[in-house]
C-alpha cells in the first residue's frame, strides 16, 4: 500500500512513503491495492494517470478523487493472458489543476531473472562397508606377534619351552605305545595309572611355566 502526503511541506506539495510499488503477478492474474491520500491543507482534487506502457494493466476506480483530509483510492492491477510477463511503469499524481506533478514507480509481474525454487532431492550418503583385512595386514599382524614373543621370551626360556613340549609329546607317545602293546601278561591294566602320571606331569609343567617364565608373570 502506498501513502501520499499532500500540502504537508507547502501548497500543492506531494510526498510518497515508498518510491515504487511491487505487484507480483502471472499472465491472466489480477490483484488490487490501495493508495492512501492524506491532506494537510485545504480540500483539493488529486488526479492519477499512468505511463503509456501500463495501459490495460492498471485501473483506478477513482482517478480524480476530492480529498478533504484522508481518502483511499483502490487500484486494480492485471496482466492479460497474452500480456507481458513483466512491466515497469510510472504512476503520476497531479495537483493544483496541473501545476504540480510527481510520480512513483510500479513493477508488475516477475522479472526474467527471478528463479523459481526447486526442491532438491535428498542426497543418499554411500554406506561404507569395511573391507576384510588384506594379506598385507595379516602379515603385519604376524610380524607384530613374532616381535612380541621375541621381546617377552628370552632365548633360554624359548629353549626350555621347546624342551617341555617335546617332553609332553614324548609322554603322549609312550602312553599310546603302552596302551597298544600288552606288556602285562598277568592282565594288570596300566591305562589308569599311566593317565594319572601324565596328568600329574602336565600339571607340574604348566605350574612351572606360570611361575618361572617372564611372559606369564607379566
What is the extent of the structural domain holding 164? 146-217
Decide the pairing of beta strands 30-39 and 20-23. unpaired
Domain check: are 102 and 174 in the same one? Answer: no
- The confidence band for 35, taking pLDDT boundaries of 50, 70 and 90, is very high
Least confident range of 43-47, 59-63, 131-135: 131-135
Domain check: are 60 and 154 in the same one? Answer: no
Report if pTM > 0.75.
no
Domain check: are 9 and 102 in the same one? Answer: yes
2-6, strands of its sheet edge to edge: 14-16, 2-6, 30-39, 70-78, 58-60
Domain check: are 74 and 8 in the same one? Answer: yes
Instruction: Compute, in degrees rounded to 10, the torsion defined by CA atoms 195, 197, 203, 205.
Output: -120
Domain count along the chain: 2
pLDDT given for residue 116 in this prediction: 45
C-beta atoms surrounding 4 within 10 Å: 23
CATH number of the domain encompassing residue 52: 2.60.40.2310
pLDDT digits (tens, 9 = 90+) for 163-188: 777 777 777 776 666 666 655 544 44
38, 37, 62: which is closest to 48 by C-alpha? 62
Domain check: are 105 and 19 in the same one? Answer: yes
Domain for residue 89, yes or no?
A: yes
Among residues 109, 138, 167, the one where a domain terminates is: 109
Domain for residue 139, yes or no?
A: no
pLDDT digits (tens, 9 = 90+) for 108-146: 998 764 444 545 666 677 766 666 656 656 566 566 656
- The confidence band for 189, taking pLDDT boundaries of 50, 70 and 90, is low
Amino acid at each position: 500500500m502506498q501513502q501520499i502526503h499532500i500540502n504537508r511541506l507547502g501548497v500543492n506539495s506531494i510526498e510518497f512513503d515508498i518510491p515504487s510499488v511491487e505487484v507480483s503477478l502471472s499472465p491472466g492474474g489480477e490483484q488490487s491495492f490501495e493508495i492512501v491520500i492524506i491532506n494537510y491543507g485545504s480540500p483539493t482534487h488529486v488526479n492519477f494517470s499512468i505511463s503509456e506502457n501500463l495501459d490495460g494493466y492498471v485501473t483506478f476506480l477513482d482517478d480524480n478523487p476530492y480529498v478533504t483530509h484522508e481518502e483511499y483510492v483502490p487500484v486494480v492491477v492485471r496482466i492479460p493472458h497474452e500480456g507481458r510477463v513483466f512491466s515497469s511503469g510510472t504512476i503520476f499524481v497531479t495537483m493544483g489543476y496541473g501545476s504540480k506533478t510527481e510520480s512513483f514507480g510500479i513493477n508488475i509481474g516477475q522479472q526474467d531473472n527471478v528463479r523459481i525454487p526447486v526442491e532438491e532431492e535428498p542426497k543418499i550418503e554411500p554406506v561404507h562397508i569395511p573391507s576384510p583385512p588384506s594379506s598385507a595386514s595379516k602379515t603385519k599382524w604376524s610380524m607384530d606377534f613374532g616381535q612380541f614373543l621375541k621381546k617377552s621370551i628370552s632365548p633360554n626360556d624359548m629353549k626350555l619351552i621347546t624342551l617341555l613340549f617335546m617332553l609332553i609329546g614324548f609322554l603322549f607317545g609312550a602312553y599310546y605305545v603302552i596302551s597298544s602293546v600288552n606288556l602285562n601278561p598277568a592282565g594288570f591294566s596300566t591305562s589308569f595309572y599311566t593317565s594319572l602320571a601324565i596328568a600329574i606331569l602336565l600339571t607340574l609343567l604348566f605350574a612351572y611355566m606360570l611361575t618361572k617364565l617372564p611372559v606369564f608373570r607379566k
